[in-house]
Amino acid sequence: MLAPEFIPIQGGVGTYIVELIRNMPQDVKIYVLTPKRVEANDLSKNITDGSFLDRVNVDYVGTAKDNFFYNFEFQINCFRAVPKMIKKYHIDIVHSQSALPDLYLSPKSIKIPIVTTIHTTIRDEINSTKYSGTNFSDFTISEKTMVLLNPILKTLEKSYYNGHRNYITVSNWMKSRVIKDFKKIQSNKIQVIYNGVNTTQFNSVNKKFLSTFFPQLSEINVPKVLFLSRWAERKGIRYFLEAIPQILKKTDIHFIFAGSNTNGTLKIPLENCSYLGYIPQEKLPCLYALCDIFVLPSLYENFPICLLEAMSSELAVISTNVGGIPELITNGENGVLIEPKNAKEIANSVIHLAENKNFRKELGEKARITIEKQFTWDRIAVKTREYYEKILEEKKKL
């Protein structure tokens, strides 16, 4: 498993890798190659489930940094380390991620299949950042770098998706995008396997830990609205911030913002708002459980894990009808879908849910049922193992 993100979990890719490994059937032996974070010196302190440690052998190469360029270093390190790991551990298949850590490798060169999970594409991230309507000067350093390197990055990505690998997309929408954008990939080389969520970990029962993890929020008695994501332009956070004054004119509510804010131009109001910054994984279930409404007003998404976590925690969710989100949310049934870049729709939807407790509760309950039926990590892990077997069987026939 090539892991640009691992422990401690920083985002959706890290969650995907950790939970996939944790839930993989016991007969699959997993080796992880990842850059090391300073906070990860002792894995046992970062993983609460002790059985996880028995499932995985971790090899570190380089150091993870919170900037755009560490992926390039990881790509070089993978080029050097992967062939040695294959030989040392007798590995049968390489599972990569769409950060392209195996850019300089190929199934032909390493003599075993590669499967890549496509969480996002560079071209979509760049296009959605431009689509945000934000001035270039207000982008984060990472966003500016990505836009400036646009031609180079798109060329590298196009060379990567050349049809020689096998692919997992986490939504049908992304599968259709990949086929359209990368002509050399055939449909039968792509398997749709949705993201999942740990329903035991993310549930409404976690309210009992409020006073332990978030005592400053536990006594707030008005509806609480959560935004939990990286503060990137494509997450639509500017439109959410624009909606807040409209909401506060109509109803009494408290907004909670979490996630790393690397953009100095984004400011939250001083009243009726709390900013928590980065939240460690062990505290996330409690954070969801203390809230009533979850808002993700993204301009672009594939199949966001934070939405799955919020729905599993029985929150009423508001998100945009972009990417693979409509494959998860049915408007008015298990959540609310709105148009992107629309502060007025965000405001109206939040006000409606805040003032209609029964409807809010109904959406949350149906959201939980949706997750339990289709999107648990144990199901996703079994489907992924089956795909591994299919790929290996096809290799035998060659």
Q: Could you give the 3-state DSSP secondary structure of residue 161?
A: coil
Axis-axis angle for helices 343-355, 237-250 (nearest 10): 50
Other Cβ atoms less than 10 A from the Cβ of 273: the count is 18
Please state the rounded mean pLDDT for residues 41-64: 67
Non-local (6+) Cβ contacts of 188 within 8 A are none
More confident residue, 59 or 8: 59
**pLDDT for 170-207, tens place per residue?**
999 999 999 999 988 999 999 999 999 999 999 987 76
Q: What is the pLDDT of residues 109-137, one digit of tens each?
A: 999 999 999 998 888 888 888 877 788 87
The amino acid present at 210, given as its one-letter code, is L
* Total-model pTM: 0.90
- 295, pLDDT greater than 90: yes
The CA R_g of the chain, rounded to the nearest whole Å, is 21
Hey, how many other C-beta atoms are within 10 angstroms of the C-beta on 297? Answer: 28
Of 306, 301, 307, nearest to 322 by C-alpha is 301
Give the list of residues 6+ apart from residue 330 with CB closer than 8 angstroms, or none.
none
DSSP per-residue letters across 63-89: E--SSTTHHHHHHHHHHHHHHHHHHHH
Name the DSSP letter for residue 102. Answer: T
Look at 175-189, 215-229, 257-271, 374-388 and tell me which has the smallest mean pLDDT. 257-271
Please name which of 259, 288, 295 lies closest in space to residue 368, comparing C-alpha atoms.
288
Give the closest residue to 254 by CA, choosing from 238, 269, 235. Answer: 269
Backbone angles phi, psi at 88, to 5 degrees: -70, -40
State residue 132 phi and psi, 5-degree precision: -60, -20
How far apart (Å, rounded) are the C-alpha atoms in residues 214 and 206?
12
Looking at the predicted structure, is the pLDDT value of residue 254 above 70? yes
Residue 133 gets the label, from left (phi > 0), alpha (psi -120 to 50) or beta, of: left
Token representation of residue 59? 């090899």
| Per-residue pLDDT reduced to its tens digit, 60-107 | 998 877 666 778 899 999 999 999 999 999 999 999 998 899 999 999
Q: What domains are defined for the chain? A: 12-196+377-397 (3.40.50.2000), 204-374 (3.40.50.2000)
Identify the three-state secondary structure at position 192. Answer: strand
- Amino acid 52: pLDDT: 66
Mean pLDDT across the stretch 338-344? 96
215-232 pLDDT, tens digit per residue, is 888 788 899 999 998 888
What pLDDT is stored for residue 51 in this prediction? Answer: 57
In the sheet with 166-169, reading across from the earlier edge strand, the strands are 94-97, 114-118, 166-169, 190-192
Going along the chain, which residue ranges are E strands? 30-36, 56-63, 94-97, 114-118, 166-169, 190-192, 224-228, 254-258, 273-277, 293-296, 316-320, 336-338
Closest CA to 120 of 264, 387, 274, 322: 322
